[in-house]
Amino acid sequence: MVKLIKTKKSGKLLAKNCGAACLVFFLALALAACGISPAERDFFAMDTYIEIQAYGKNAEGFLTEANTETIRLENLLSAHSEKSELNALNSGKTPNSPELLNLAGEAVSLADLTGGAFDPTVLPLVELWGFGDEMRVPKQSEIDAALETVGYGKLRSDGNKITLNGTRLDLGGIAKGYAADRFGLLAAQHGVDSAFASFGGMVAAVGQKPGGKPWRVGVKDPRSDGLAAVLEVRDTCVSTSGGYERYFTHEGKIYHHILDPKTGYPAESDLLSATVVDPSGTRADALSTALYVMGKDRAIEFCKENQICAILITENELIPLSGADRLISEISQSYELIKE
């Protein structure tokens, strides 16, 4: 994994390679704000290394509950665990909790919004490519068979009930975003107004740093261990999706974990990563996955049409959209800043 560190001496941004399969590419660059140290926890859940921190007198109690809550969400939402409630839903068992049905309903709305670039029914394809387990290149006939059962249009959801009609759900594209939202809600319930969470490529920035400064969030350089940019944000979530997060190489070709639900193959994107800034973590998470699938031109058009605050990164360009340029405080010289 990659951990972003601001050295106290030089103030320079470093990305330290910690060597795990799943990348953590955000961390609050918020060491000892105003001399106050935050309460902190780190743990592994949702297939990623998670770091949470909070300030104030209720911080410890809040973090303990946030940790427990994240584990609960993993048990609710993992498509790959036999014990999860999502697995029960996929196996046709009812009833399911209102919480799961709500989130599944939200996933369908986001699939609709993105024209199916984000599609929560990709599970048969994810399993085929082995991204939850052993990765391999499937045969075309296997992909064709899996595609028969993929397509959010087959789902029916009325808020109280979801009918799968032969599909199976994978909420991996929004689970961390939902966890980020729950982190924010729990902070409010505990009276914590300054907290930060990093769930792999998903960040929740609650309030601001003590002393009134914004949280500084690093956007990983997809081509190196460094940073492409640093964002300054308050009270929002930031999600990045990129093909470099999880992939394998076969006969010289790279196959990554973000799938194009139309072709059944890893998305042939001309983007190296897509970052979305949105107060809803669930929305930011789904949209970053979707923008990556869409590729540069469609993603630019989509963000302009829907006022999505986003940063797209190509081989040599960094493209802020819908006001994202105002959040950027540093940018790597490897990228040309494109004003759209």
Q: Which of residues 133-152 bind ligand AMP (CB under 6 A)?
A: none
116 binds, among ligand AMP, Mg ion, none (CB under 5 to 8 A by kind): none
d(CA 108, CA 115): 10
Q: Which of 56, 173, 207, 222 binds ligand AMP (CB under 6 A)?
A: 173
Helix/strand/coil percentages in the chain, nearest 5: 30, 25, 40
Secondary structure letter of residue 70 according to DSSP: H
**Full DSSP string of 103-149:** HHHHHHHHHHHTTTSS-TT-HHHHHHHTTTSS--PPPHHHHHHHHTT
Q: Which of 168, 182, 216, 257 binds ligand AMP (CB under 6 A)?
A: 257
Q: Which of 51, 170, 181, 278 binds ligand AMP (CB under 6 A)?
A: 170
- Count of positions on this chain that bind Mg ion (CB under 5 A): 3
Considering the rule CB under 6 A, would residue 222 count as an interface residue with ligand AMP?
A: no
Considering the rule CB under 5 A, would residue 116 count as an interface residue with Mg ion?
A: no
- Count of positions on this chain that bind ligand AMP (CB under 6 A): 20
* Closer Cβ to ligand AMP, 208 or 241, answer by number: 241
* Closer Cβ to ligand AMP, 181 or 285, answer by number: 285
d(CA 118, CA 25): 22
Considering the rule CB under 5 A, would residue 285 count as an interface residue with Mg ion?
A: yes
Task: Report the DSSP beta bridge partners of residue 162.
Answer: 157
Binding range to ligand AMP, per CB under 6 A, among 50-58, 119-127, 229-237, 325-333: 119-127
Question: CB–CB of 302/322 below 8 Å?
Answer: no
Q: 45 vs 22, 67, 140, 336, CA distance in Å?
A: 11, 9, 33, 36
Considering the rule CB under 6 A, would residue 243 count as an interface residue with ligand AMP?
A: no
**Beta strands at 194-199 and 202-207: parallel, antiparallel or unpaired:** antiparallel
**The dihedral of CA 241, 245, 246, 250: what is its sign?**
positive
Considering the rule CB under 6 A, would residue 261 count as an interface residue with ligand AMP?
A: yes
Question: CB–CB of 208/99 below 8 Å?
Answer: no
314 binds, among Mg ion, ligand AMP, none (CB under 5 to 8 A by kind): none
Considering the rule CB under 5 A, would residue 289 count as an interface residue with Mg ion?
A: yes
d(CA 241, CA 306): 19
State in Å, rounded, how far the first CA of the chain is from the last one.
Answer: 32
Considering the rule CB under 5 A, would residue 280 count as an interface residue with Mg ion?
A: no
* Closer Cβ to ligand AMP, 128 or 192, answer by number: 128
Binding range to Mg ion, per CB under 5 A, among 56-64, 167-175, 247-255, 314-322: 167-175
51 binds, among ligand AMP, Mg ion, none (CB under 5 to 8 A by kind): none
Considering the rule CB under 6 A, would residue 258 count as an interface residue with ligand AMP?
A: yes
* Closer Cβ to ligand AMP, 124 or 201, answer by number: 201
Q: What number of other Cβ atoms are within 10 A of residue 147's Cβ?
A: 17
Q: In this structure, what is the dihedral angle of CA atoms 302, 321, 280, 288, given to the nearest 10 degrees?
A: 60
Considering the rule CB under 6 A, would residue 167 count as an interface residue with ligand AMP?
A: no
Site track 274-313 with ligand AMP (rule: CB under 6 A), x = hit: -----------x--xx---x--------------------
Interface positions with Mg ion (CB under 5 A)? 173, 285, 289
Interface positions with ligand AMP (CB under 6 A)? 118-120, 122, 126, 131, 170, 172-173, 201, 241, 245, 257-259, 261, 285, 288-289, 293
